[in-house]
Amino acid sequence: MPTHCTASPKAARFRRIRSAGSISERRPMGGHGTSARALVMRMLDGLHLGTTVRGAKRSLHYVKDAVSARVLWGWTPLVPEDAFAECSSGAIRALKNQGHGPFGTYLEFGVSRGTSLAAMHHALEREGLTHVPLVGFDSFQGMPREAQQQGWLPGQYHSTISATRKYLQTKGVNADRVRLIEGWFKDTLTQDTVTRLGLTKASLIMVDCDIYSASREALWFCEPLIDDMAVIFFDDWGWRADINEVGQRDAFADFLSAFPTLSAEALPTYLPQARVFLVKRQVAQAGRKREQASAAADRTRNAQFRARRVFGGVTDRYKI
C-alpha cells in the first residue's frame, strides 16, 4: 500500500488567492454584464464609501457577487483531471481483467464543481462503456456545519448545482447519462433514492466527501450495491491520516470490519494522499447479492408499471 503523503492540506489549495493580473483577464460574469476587474473595483469603492449605510450595503453586495463568482481566487480543479482520468481507465481495466460482469453505475459522493465526474465520464467512453450512468451526490452547499469539528470549514468547496451542470456541459459530458442528487447525505442516501433511481449495482465509487461521517454514510449506502467487486476511490485519505486524525482511512476500516465478506487490495492511485482499492466480495455472497438486486429491480419495475396503469383516476391493481 502506498505510504501516507506529506503534501500540504487540500484546503490550502482551495484558499489560494490568484494574482491581481489573473483577475483583470477574466471575462464578464454572466448576468452582471460586468468584468471581474470592475466587480473588484466596485467592491473597493464600496469599502471606501462604507461610512454610510448605503455604501456599506453596496460594499457587502459586491463582496457577495465577487465571492459567488470566485473572482477573488478563481476556480482551481480540486482533482487533477488527467491523472484521475488515467487512474480511472486503469481501474476499469482492472475490473475487466478480474472478470467483472456488466458494469453498474458510477457513484460519486462529493461532486463540487464536477471535475472528477467529468474525467470519469470520458474514461468510461474511452473504455467503450458509453452506457454506464453516472450519479453524483452533493449538498451543493459545501461542507456541513459539523465538518468544523473535523478540521474543515462549513461551506468549503461550495458549488451551486447550476454551476456544476454548466461545467459538465463545457467538458462535453452527456447530460442524459448524469444524475445530480442535491441534499445532505442523511436525507439523500436512503432506500427511497435507490428505488427512485433504479440502482442495482455500483462498479465504480468515488468518495470525495473529506470527513469521516460523510465517508461512512457513503460507504454504508454503497455496500448493498457492490456485487462481485467494485473499485472505490478515496480522494482525501491522506489529509487526516498524515496527522493521525479520524478521516476516510478510519471510515474504510470500519466498513471492512462491518462487512467481513468484503476484502480490499490497493490499486495505483492518482495523488499521494488519495487511495484506490479493488473491493471484492466472497463468491457465495456475491451470488446472493445478484439475486437480491434482481428481485429489487423486478419490484421497482412492477411498481412503476402499476403506477402507470391508471384508468379514469383508478389504479389497475391486476397482478403482473
CB atoms within 10 A of CB 127: 18
What residue type is assigned to position 179 of the chain?
R
Q: How far apart are CA 157 and CA 142, in angstroms?
A: 5
Q: Which of 70-79, 173-182, 257-266 has the lowest mean pLDDT?
A: 70-79
Q: Is the pLDDT higher at 119 or at 240?
A: 119
End-to-end Cα distance, the chain: 51
Per-residue confidence band for 242, with pLDDT thresholds at 50, 70 and 90: low
Torsion of CA 227, 228, 234, 238, to 10 degrees: 140
Per-residue confidence band for 166, with pLDDT thresholds at 50, 70 and 90: very high
What residue type is assigned to position 109 of the chain?
F
Q: Which three cell numbers stand for residue 109?
A: 459522493
Upper half-sphere CA count for residue 118 (Cβ side, 13 Å): 20
CB atoms within 10 A of CB 97: 8
Q: How far apart are CA 98 and CA 285, in angstroms?
A: 17
* In 189-229, alpha helices (H): 191-197, 212-222
The b/e string for 42-63 (b: 16+ C-beta within 10 A; e otherwise) is bbeebeeeeeeeeeeebbeebb
Per-residue confidence band for 206, with pLDDT thresholds at 50, 70 and 90: very high
- The whole-number pLDDT of residue 292 equals 66
Per-residue confidence band for 16, with pLDDT thresholds at 50, 70 and 90: very low
Per-residue confidence band for 24, with pLDDT thresholds at 50, 70 and 90: very low
* Order of strands, sheet of 229-234, starting from the edge strand that comes earlier in the sequence: 178-182, 134-138, 105-109, 202-207, 229-234, 275-281, 262-267
Q: What average pLDDT score do residues 264-281 get?
A: 96
β-bridge mates for residue 205, sequence order:
107, 232
DSSP state of 9: P
Residues 134 and 117: beta-carbon distance below 8 Å: yes
Instruction: Report the chain's mean pLDDT, rounded to a whole number.
Output: 74
- The whole-number pLDDT of residue 153 equals 54
Task: Spell out the domains of the chain, with CATH numbers in brackets.
Answer: 17-68 (no CATH), 81-296 (3.40.50.150)
Q: What is the pTM of this model?
A: 0.66
Residues 257 and 160: beta-carbon distance below 8 Å: no
Q: Which three cell numbers stand for residue 236?
A: 482525501
Q: What is the DSSP string of 30-82?
A: TTTTB-HHHHHHHHHHHHHTTTSHHHHHHHHHHHHHHHHTTTTT----SS-HH
Q: What average pLDDT score do residues 51-58 get?
A: 50
Q: What average pLDDT score do residues 30-42 get?
A: 42
Q: What average pLDDT score do residues 133-153 get?
A: 71
Burial classification of residue 84, based on how many CB atoms lie within 10 Å of its CB (0-12 exposed, 13-18 middle, 19 or more buried): buried
Number of H helices and E strands in the chain, helices first, is 13, 9
How far from the centroid of its chain's Cα atoms is residue 33's Cα?
31
* Nearest CA among 203, 248, 207 for reference residue 226: 203
- The whole-number pLDDT of residue 311 equals 38
Residues 271 and 237: beta-carbon distance below 8 Å: no
Per-residue confidence band for 139, with pLDDT thresholds at 50, 70 and 90: confident
Q: How far apart are CA 113 and CA 117, in angstroms?
A: 9
Q: Which three cell numbers stand for residue 12?
A: 490550502
Residues 92 and 106: beta-carbon distance below 8 Å: no
Q: How far apart are CA 262 and CA 161, in angstroms?
A: 34
